[in-house]
């Protein structure tokens, strides 16, 4: 079963109409311009499907309230939270214009995604023109590998017991690291050399927009990208090909 899923993820690595926003996990006040950018990629009176599953269950309703307040100055026709990915259907998901995957514990989120049809639904959603916004854990799972969630002094613990660290592979071989700090460079480079996956590292006030295979840096700070050749800084407003 896992081999079949791996082949599927590899084969469907890119969509023809992919639009992803990924943010580094900082306070929402840093992303007001990004929020406007996100909404401007949608049509009139858009609807938002909110996924708070990376957070503690008792905080899901508060997370929905926070998102509603975050977008209170932006017209969303409807914002609805998802508390069970197992029951999610395409008929349900296709009625929304955007998906927002909230932050929290990356391994908890991935554990909830596994054994559901969420990957296939997400891929279909993107291919049909939907926009996905992932913050922190919600951004990390979109990449190739979630080992990056362990990085740093306050990395996520794998309390969910996730065995496979493979991500959703929506941006090719690239893994995503959030809450990035320069002191983590050695740890990130070691991962790149050992696993072979390049890394996009987002500061807490950094964000990127992926349109098909082109990544553009948004937010207030540049991002760092790590490959086998080393570290490179990509400034706000600059783009590069994934």
**Model confidence pLDDT, tens digit, residues 212-233:** 889 999 988 999 999 999 999 9
Can you give the pTM of this predicted structure? Answer: 0.89
For the cut 70, the answer to whether the pLDDT of residue 12 exceeds it is no
Cα 135 off chain centre by: 6
Sheet holding 98-101, edge to edge: 78-81, 47-51, 98-101, 131-135, 19-23, 206-211, 214-219, 239-241
Task: Give residue-wise pLDDT tens across range 165-201.
Answer: 999 999 999 999 999 999 999 999 999 999 999 999 9
Q: Does pLDDT of 58 surpass 70?
A: yes
Q: What is the mean pLDDT of residues 112-141?
A: 95
Q: Which of 15-19, 77-81, 96-100 has the lowest mean pLDDT?
A: 15-19
pLDDT at 7: 38
Q: How far apart are CA 95 and CA 155, in angstroms?
A: 35
pLDDT of residue 224: 98
Q: Is the pLDDT of residue 203 over 60?
A: yes
Residues contacting residue 162 through CB under 8 Å, at least 6 positions apart:
107, 110, 111, 114, 146
Average pLDDT in the chain:
88
User: How many domains does the structure of the chain reveal?
Assistant: 1
Q: Which domain holds residue 133?
A: 2-241
pLDDT band at residue 69, thresholds of 50, 70 and 90? confident
The neighbouring-strand residues paired with 218 are: 207
- What CATH number is attached to the domain comprising 84? 3.40.50.880
Is residue 165 a contact partner of residue 146, using CB atoms and an 8 Å limit?
yes
């Amino acid at each position: 079963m896992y081999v079949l899923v791996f082949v599927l993820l590899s084969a469907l690595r890119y969509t023809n109409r992919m639009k992803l926003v990924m943010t580094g996990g900082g306070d929402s006040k840093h992303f007001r311009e990004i929020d406007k950018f996100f909404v401007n990629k949608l049509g009139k009176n858009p609807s938002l499907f909110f996924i708070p599953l990376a957070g503690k269950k008792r905080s899901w309703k508060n997370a929905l309230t926070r998102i509603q307040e975050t977008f209170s100055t932006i017209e969303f026709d409807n914002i609805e939270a998802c508390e069970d990915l197992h029951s999610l259907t395409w008929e349900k998901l296709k009625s929304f214009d955007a998906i927002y995957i909230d932050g929290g514990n990356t391994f908890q989120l991935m554990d909830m995604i596994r054994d559901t049809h969420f990957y296939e639904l997400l891929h279909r959603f993107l291919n049909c023109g939907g926009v996905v916004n992932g913050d922190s854990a919600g951004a990390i799972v979109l990449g190739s590998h979630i080992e990056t969630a362990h990085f740093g002094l306050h990395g996520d613990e794998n309390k969910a017991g996730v065995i496979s660290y493979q991500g959703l592979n929506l941006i090719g071989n690239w893994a995503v690291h959030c809450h990035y700090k320069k002191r983590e460079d050695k740890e990130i480079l070691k991962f790149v050399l050992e696993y072979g996956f390049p890394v996009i590292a987002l500061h807490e006030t950094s964000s990127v927009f992926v349109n098909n295979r082109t990544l553009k840096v948004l937010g207030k700070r540049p991002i760092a990208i790590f490959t086998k050749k080393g570290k490179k800084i990509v400034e706000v407003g600059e783009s590069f090909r994934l």
